[in-house]
Structure 1
Amino acid sequence: MEGFKVVIVGGGSSHTPGIIQSLIANLDRFPLKKLVLYDIDPDRLELVDTLCGSLIAKLDPECVYFTTTDPEKAYTDIDFAFAQIRQGGMEMREKDEKISLEFGVVGQETCGPGGMAYGLRSIPGVFQVIDDVRKYAPEAWIINYSNPAAIVAEATRRKYNNYKILNICDMPVAIMLSFAKMLGLEKYNDVDPVYFGLNHFGWWTHLYDKSGVDRMPELKEKIMKFGLAASHDKHHSDPSWRHTWENFKEILTDFPEYLPNTYLQYYLYAKESAEDMDPNYTRANMVMDGREKDMIEQAKLIRESGGKKEANLNLFNAFGDFIVDVACSIAYNNADRYLVIVENKGCIPQMPYDAMVEVPCYLRKWGPEPVTIGNIPQFQLGMMMQQVSSEKLIVDAYFEHSYQKALEAFTMNKTVPSAKVARKILDKMIEANKGYWPELH
């Protein structure tokens, strides 16, 4: 059997069943010769392995499948590593969110101080994955989903020049699925987007259907009338996400030129967003009480039934299709067009040449080829320059072990009201992240 050899890094994640589900659904165009789940936590691996038993049974009998905590076994002889690690788990995410909110600042996993705290934890973890993959499979492609994607992408650019590393995010895909459904289309890639920004920080300027018609004016009208329809998976349709979809109309009312990425709510309405959040019960708590609990309960029922009961995997499928689509485009040199995170290199001329931007790219066997966006309006440019500066400074802080750079990064971020607040949050984050962050001097 000819096919691809894939390892899912962070195989114990609650997103893994969704990725496996998409791999199984696409075996005709992306056949598998080997599928490995790798994680540093054997209990989480066992949990996901139990949940996915009925799916794994659908693999070709000749396909090698196993789970492992050994990097050598995981990475030897692979074509693709799909990486989705979370350094410090949900417990550290909860601290990121609650420390920020203690000072009246947005508590969110990828935005503001929480995102920067998570970034300083993620960088060494992602570097370890890349070093291990390069050691055992030097030419394998690493498709990195690990958050916070913007900070991670800037760090991997500096250390590895992003050779055979592609940083991607499913949020634009989830939003485009909503757009497509509102336009009477089926799939997120039934529309070709023109989009520019940074990760979790961007704008759609056009949405072309397959006949080449720009459906943006029609879509704006529908959103202003009915609001944005929520995305169609469980991950993006629980109460906190529903609130996010509702805020979309508010952003569009204030800034009607382009359609925004939903995460812009945290920057445009930082004060109101923080006030809306419960400092004692954050998004991390919702995830732990939601999909994490679901996984554990379903795995228990499967074990008790002796494997007869099947998991309801629709609970987990947030981004599997996107990662498979991206891998196919690279593997077959399809040059399909997707929104991914790449080095600017002039595609937005006013932005730094080495900024990691999120734009449409044609994905080839040798990597992404970005579409030229051209100059962007002053408002979006100003916001992006502030945000990219904050992200670059936090990566400086990592490489230089610099407290000063970390303070500048926190102060620069649009969610933080003053340098005094930035210092208080940073000092508390340093305490909470002992053992995860480099020591800052």
Structure 2
Amino acid sequence: MKAPYAISIVGGGSRYTPGILRMLVAEKGRFPLRKITLYDNEAERQDKVGAYGKILFQEYYPECEIIVTNDAKTAFEDIDFAFMQIRAGRMKMREMDEKIALRHGCLGQETCGAGGFAYGMRSIPAVCDIIKDIRKYSPEAWVLNYSNPAAIVAEATKRIFKDDFRIINICDMPIGIMGFYAKALGKRPDEIEPRYFGLNHFGWFTQILDKKTGEDYLPRLHEFFKTPMAAVGDLHPTDKSWMDTFKFMSKMIQDYEDYLPNTYLQYYLYPKHIVEHEDSNYTRANEVMDGPEKKTFAMLDEVIAEGKLKGTKYEPKPDELADGHAGYIVDLATAIANNTGDVFLCMTENTGIISNLTEGMMVEVPCHVGINGVEPLNIGEIPTFQKGLLENQFAYEKLTVDACLEGSYKKAWNALTLNRCVNDTDVAKAILDDYIEVNKEYWPELK
């Protein structure tokens, strides 16, 4: 694998893809490209993103070819990297996931709650089928997967593509939180490095280290975030639901003082509180469709109508080319391509990394990343409370994958019963039956 590289963006019609394309333009000095292929099964959405991409690259990166396709051979032949960000069922199914669960008094959150189960059952076959196509046309390409629910997808890919170290499952949420920490400390994100353990969307920061001095900023951050912050919007300007999430972090820190929690732990540790504050008629899916989705595609329409970026209000300034979601995936690809050994939070199989957790669990921990894949840092033993939570969550995730791969109704029911956001046998069955009804075109038949 030599520069310049060829990549495929799987989920080319995603609202995140324009940000990835801008980031690739910004990073062409350290991650040079000869070809980018956008691949999606929704032509109308992808065509808009592709038209935007061609304008962007014509003006800023003419030496890189950009191809838009829904043909697997065209998308995956002779590539070095595949960036995977698919959403099986798209926002329509996410909305159903959330609202069905809420009808039964439970969280439908897309990765943590009952919705994470439904979404996982859709994602497993979709992700694995695409990886099989990638392996058919580019056996040695790196597959950087951040399709949700990442933990369930990681458990499935571990089984189906055993020993394929070029499949790396990652999530940008811990990095988003790290950016939040960096702003609070008055530092750049690349000046600090995490120590962390858990499963995806289910973990704890144990140290936040200064890369130069080794100072641990966790005690400082712990005190800072203990109180709800009126300035949280200045530190992490975003939409209302994320504002509420970051504000709620102070309660978790007060109640659980040992570490700094991943924000998603609010769903597992306070499900009743979260459900009480949910609007069953207007969920996160509605917020995304009416906000970021609409805004992104309106921007695409305007740029396509203009036929240019330069000289318009959408002309990206140098500091606007960077994108947090996109940056993480580009940083990871660069670490592999240049064999840097930089530290990233990745999902990897527990082989004694966390000594008192089940072997084989797909844990999320700091890893050195280079040409040989991920090399995890040793965590050692974790406290009983965290161990209990993680073992329960792993059992839920494992049963979800079992249910999908085996077509087992019983295991699907067992999985939902174990989910901390459901935690009731009768309610789990009722939710499962409703999900089966609306997911017939996505799920395997459960018997």
Return the TM-score normalized by structure 1.
0.96
Q: Do structure 1's residue 209 and structure 2's residue 215 form an aligned pair?
A: no
Q: Do structure 1's residue 354 and structure 2's residue 360 form an aligned pair?
A: yes
Distance 1:316 1:107, change over 3 A: farther
**1:240-389 residue pairs with structure 2 within 5 A?**
240-307=241-308, 309=312, 311=314, 317-389=323-395
8 Å contact kept, 2:94–2:110 = yes
CA distance in 1, matches of 2:315, 2:263: 28
Q: How big is the shift at 1:53? A: 4.3
Residue type matched to 1:241 in 2? W
CA distance in 2, matches of 1:246, 1:257: 19
CA distance in 2, matches of 1:231, 1:374: 37
State the identity as a percent.
Answer: 48
Q: How big is the shift at 1:407? A: 0.5
8 Å contact kept, 2:25–2:61 = no
CA distance in 2, matches of 1:223, 1:122: 35
Q: How big is the shift at 1:304? A: 3.3
- Give the SS at the match of 2:345: strand
Q: Do structure 1's residue 195 and structure 2's residue 201 form an aligned pair?
A: no
Distance 1:2 1:169, change over 3 A: closer
CA distance in 2, matches of 1:248, 1:201: 14
Distance 1:378 1:312, change over 3 A: farther
Q: How big is the shift at 1:233? A: 7.0
CA distance in 2, matches of 1:312, 1:148: 34
1:393 matched residue in structure 2: 399
Q: How big is the shift at 1:190? A: 1.8
Distance 1:64 1:231, change over 3 A: farther
CA distance in 2, matches of 1:145, 1:137: 19
Q: How big is the shift at 1:318? A: 4.2
1:77 matched residue in structure 2: 78
Q: How big is the shift at 1:414? A: 0.7
Residue type matched to 2:173 in 1? M
- Give the SS at the match of 1:52: helix
Distance 1:315 1:101, change over 3 A: farther
CA distance in 2, matches of 1:352, 1:231: 41
Larger mean CA deviation between 300-309 and 102-111 belongs to 300-309
Gaps of 5+ in 1: none
- Give the SS at the match of 2:344: strand
Gaps of 5+ in 2: none
Return the TM-score normalized by structure 2.
0.94
CA distance in 1, matches of 2:162, 2:146: 17
8 Å contact kept, 1:14–1:316 = no
CA distance in 2, matches of 1:19, 1:82: 10
8 Å contact kept, 2:350–2:359 = yes
8 Å contact kept, 1:15–1:316 = no
Distance 1:315 1:240, change over 3 A: farther
Q: How big is the shift at 1:220? A: 1.0
1:52 matched residue in structure 2: 53
Q: How big is the shift at 1:326? A: 0.5
Distance 1:170 1:409, change over 3 A: same
CA distance in 1, matches of 2:313, 2:156: 40
CA distance in 2, matches of 1:140, 1:59: 26
Distance 1:85 1:300, change over 3 A: same
